[in-house]
């Protein structure tokens, strides 16, 4: 019986492949449609105001290379206090985190 419980517990942790805004703990669960005109050529959203640009620069908010606009059909809001803007699956920043991350120094 304990093997069954262990198996089910292990399978609840989603396998995270790479780091992007959509597998980060700061991201909204609500998806909003994104207009192609909002996207840069790699499928990310560039900051719109000088304030957003400063936050993006400080956070190193990037659009991952190798993508296209069609890779980002929607956007979600990032609730990290340092970001607070819409992002796509093609983006990531220095504040990326996930509850399931293994940090051996914190054991």
Ramachandran angles phi, psi of 63, nearest 5°: -100, 125
- The answer to whether the CB of 40 falls within 8 A of the CB of 63 is yes
What is the pLDDT at residue 92?
Answer: 98
In the chain (107 residues long), the average pLDDT of successive 10-residue segments reads 45 75 96 96 97 98 96 97 97 95 88
What is the pLDDT at residue 86?
Answer: 98
Boundaries of every domain in the chain: 14-98
What is the pLDDT at residue 39?
Answer: 98
Residues in CB range of 104: below 8 A, 6 or more apart: none
Q: How far is CA 64 from CA 1, 5, 43, 60, in A?
A: 44, 38, 8, 11
**What's the pTM value of the predicted model, to 2 decimals?**
0.83
């Amino acid at each position: 019986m304990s093997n069954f419980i262990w198996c089910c517990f292990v399978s609840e942790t989603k396998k995270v492949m790479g780091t992007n805004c959509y597998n980060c703990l700061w991201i909204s669960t609500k998806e909003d449609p994104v207009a192609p005109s909002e996207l840069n050529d790699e499928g990310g959203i560039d900051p719109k105001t000088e304030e957003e640009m400063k936050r993006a620069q400080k956070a190193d908010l990037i659009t991952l290379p190798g993508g296209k606009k069609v890779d980002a059909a929607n956007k979600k809001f990032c609730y990290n206090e340092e970001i607070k803007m819409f992002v796509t699956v093609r983006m990531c920043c220095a504040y990326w985190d996930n509850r399931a991350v293994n940090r051996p120094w914190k054991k």
